[in-house]
Amino acid sequence: MADLRNCQECGRLFAYQGKNRCRKCQENEEEEYLIVRRYIREHPGASVFETSEATDVEEEKILQFLRDGRLQSRGFKNVLECVSCGQKISQGRFCDNCTNQLAADFQKVAQPKKPRKQEPEPKRRQTDRIYTRGKDEG
Ligand SMILES: [Zn+2]
Ligand SMILES: [Zn+2]
């Protein structure tokens, strides 16, 4: 069954396939991404503002590309904030510290440090007797 949702971008109803935007908006975004990427390749020192002005792509979109780790440019230094501690970063969602911290936390979750308690095997060896001899037999 199709999961219909409203596109986050244009509000149109569309068949949800893991993205919050309809196909049209995704294509638009892809186009904008390519334009921005080409621009910063030709203008490596351009700031986000300059890039936005030159490409007509919203600054917020450009920042989104950065957060997604799709873009990288010398001119885009420290334009984002770590979503955890707020430190200025150039790419992604977390600063190096928080990335390491998260990785450490993840390790802890993945491999609990507590030594596994040796639980005694429940003794369930005795076969249940189906036929029991009546006490009064005989
Ligand atoms: Zn849309
Ligand atoms: Zn941080």
Which tens digit of pLDDT belongs to each residue from 9-43? Answer: 899 999 998 888 899 999 999 999 999 999 999 99
Distance 52 CA to ligand 2 centre (A): 26
Distance 7 CA to ligand 1 centre (A): 5
Predicted confidence band of residue 107 (pLDDT cuts 50, 70, 90): confident
Angle at 34 between CA 31 and CA 39, to 5 degrees: 130
Neighbours of 84 (CB within 10 A): 14
Distance in angstroms (rounded) separating the CA atoms of residues 103 and 44:
31
Residue scoring higher pLDDT (2 or 98): 98
Ligand nearest the Cα of residue 101 is: 2
Ligand nearest the Cα of residue 25 is: 1
Average model confidence (pLDDT) for the chain? 87
Residue scoring higher pLDDT (56 or 135): 56
Domain boundaries, the chain: 22-76, 78-110
Distance in angstroms (rounded) separating the CA atoms of residues 38 and 91:
18
Distance 24 CA to ligand 1 centre (A): 6
Ligand nearest the Cα of residue 95 is: 2
Q: Which residues contact residue 20 at a Cβ distance below 8 angstroms, ignoring those fewer than 6 apart?
A: 5, 7, 8
Distance 103 CA to ligand 2 centre (A): 12
